[in-house]
Amino acid sequence: MLSFVLPMLATVEDRDFVTAIYGEFRTLMLATARRYVPDRGAAEDVVQDSLVKLIRHADLLQRMNRCTLASYIVSTVRNTAIDRLRGDAAERRYLLPLELEKLCLTPSPEESVEETAQKREDLERMRTVWPRLEEEQRLLLEGKYLLDQTDTELASRLGCKQDSVRMKLTRARRRVLELLREGGVPDE
Amino acid sequence: MSEMETMPYANEEALVSRMMEAVQLAQGQAALEEKERLKEDPDTAPSGNLDDACWRIIRLGWRCGRVAAAGRRTVRIAGRVAVIAAVLVVMLSIAFATPGLAPLIRGALDKWNITTYKDHTQVQGRIDNGVDEEYLDKDGNLRIDHFTLVPGWLPKGFVLKETGLDESICWLIYHLPRQQAKNIFISMSNMSGSTTSFDTENADVSYMTIQDNEATVISKKENGVEYNTVVWFMDGLTAMVQVSNEGVSIADTIKIAENLHVVWED
Amino acid identity for residue A183 in this structure:
G
Interchain contact, B65 vs A68, CB within 8 Å: no
Instruction: Give which of B1, B23, B259 to mutate to test A binding, by max A Cβ within 10 Å.
Output: B23
Q: Is A30 on the interface with B (CB under 8 A)?
A: yes
Alpha-carbon gap, residue A44 to A29, rounded angstroms: 9
Contacts of B43 in chain A (CB under 8 A): none
| Closest to B27 in 3D by CA, of A66, A188, A92, A56 | A66
Report pLDDT for B147.
79
Taking CA atoms, what residue in B is nearest to A169?
B13
- The percent of residues in chain B predicted with pLDDT above 90, rounded, is 9
Instruction: Give the pLDDT mean for B66-73.
Output: 49
Range picked from A173-177, B64-68, B241-245 for highest mean pLDDT: A173-177
Q: Which residues contact A180 (CB under 8 A, 6 or more apart)?
A: A125, A128, A129, B2, B4
Structural contact between residues A2 and B64, judged by C-beta atoms closer than 8 angstroms: yes
Nearest C-alpha in B relative to A87: B178
pLDDT at B34: 95
Q: What is the mean pLDDT of chain A?
A: 84
Beta carbons of A75 and B27 less than 8 Å apart = yes
Please state the φ and ψ torsions of residue B233, each to the nearest 5 degrees: -105, 115
Question: Angle between the A12-36 and B48-70 helix axes, to the nearest 10 degrees?
Answer: 140
The DSSP bridge partners found for residue B249 are none
Q: Are A103 and B60 in contact (CB under 8 A)?
A: no
Who has greater pLDDT, A60 or B239?
A: A60
B214 touches B87 (CB < 8 A): no
State whether residue A38 sits within 8 Å of chain B by CB: no
Q: Tell whether the model's pLDDT for residue A74 goes beyond 90.
A: yes
Any A CB within 8 A of B49 CB: yes
The pLDDT, as a whole number, for residue B128 is 52
Question: Using a CB-CB distance cutoff of 8 angstroms, which residues of chain B are in contact with residue A173?
Answer: 12-13, 16
Q: Between these two residues, A171 and A98, which has the higher pLDDT value?
A: A171
A103 touches chain B (CB under 8 A): yes
pLDDT computed for residue B106 by the predictor:
35
The band of B216, judged by pLDDT with boundaries at 50, 70 and 90, is low
Helix axes A12-36, B9-39, angle to 10 degrees: 90
Q: Which of A35-39, A153-157, B113-117 has the lowest mean pLDDT?
A: B113-117
Closest to B50 (Cα-Cα) out of A70, A50, A91, A58: A50
Q: What is the dihedral of CA B31, B36, B38, B39, to 10 degrees?
A: 150
Least confident range from A157-161, B33-37, B228-232: namely B228-232
Give the per-residue pLDDT at B192. Answer: 66
Of the candidate ranges A15-24, A67-76, A121-130, B244-253, the one whose mean pLDDT is the lowest: B244-253
- Whether A52 has its CB under 8 Å from any CB of chain B: the answer is yes
Task: Give me the pLDDT at residue B23, please.
Answer: 93
Give B89 or A45, the one with higher predicted confidence. Answer: A45
A28/B34 CB distance under 8 A? yes
pLDDT band at A99 (very low <50, low <70, confident <90, very high): confident
Which amino acid makes up residue B209? T
**All residues at 6 or more sequence positions from A88 whose CB lies less than 8 Å from its CB, including other chains:** none
Q: Which helix (H) or strand (E) holds B112?
A: strand B112-116
Tell me which chain B residues have a C-beta less than 8 angstroms from the C-beta of A6. 60-61, 64, 68, 150-151, 160
pLDDT tens digits for range A32-56:
999 888 888 889 989 988 998 898 8
Which carries the bigger pLDDT value, residue B224 or residue B71?
Answer: B224
Of A31, A55, A83, the CB nearest to B38: A31
Given a cut of 90, whether residue A75 has pLDDT beyond it is yes
Q: Kindly tell me if the per-residue pLDDT of B87 is higher than 50.
A: no
Q: For residues B193 and B199, give the distance between their C-alpha atoms in angstroms, rounded to a whole number.
A: 20
Closest CA relative to residue B169, chosen from B200, B151, B196, B140 = B196
pLDDT band at B17 (very low <50, low <70, confident <90, very high): very high
Q: How many CB atoms lie within 10 A of CB A66?
A: 12
Instruction: Point out the least confidently predicted range of A80-89, A161-170, B212-221.
Output: B212-221
Task: Tell me which residues of chain A, numbers 106 to 125, contact chain B at a CB-CB cutoff of 8 Å.
Answer: 106, 119-120, 122-123, 125
pLDDT tens by residue, B184-204? 888 887 766 666 666 667 777
pTM for the full predicted model: 0.62
Q: Is A24 on the interface with B (CB under 8 A)?
A: yes
The predicted model gives A152-174 an average pLDDT of: 89
B227 DSSP 8-state letter: E
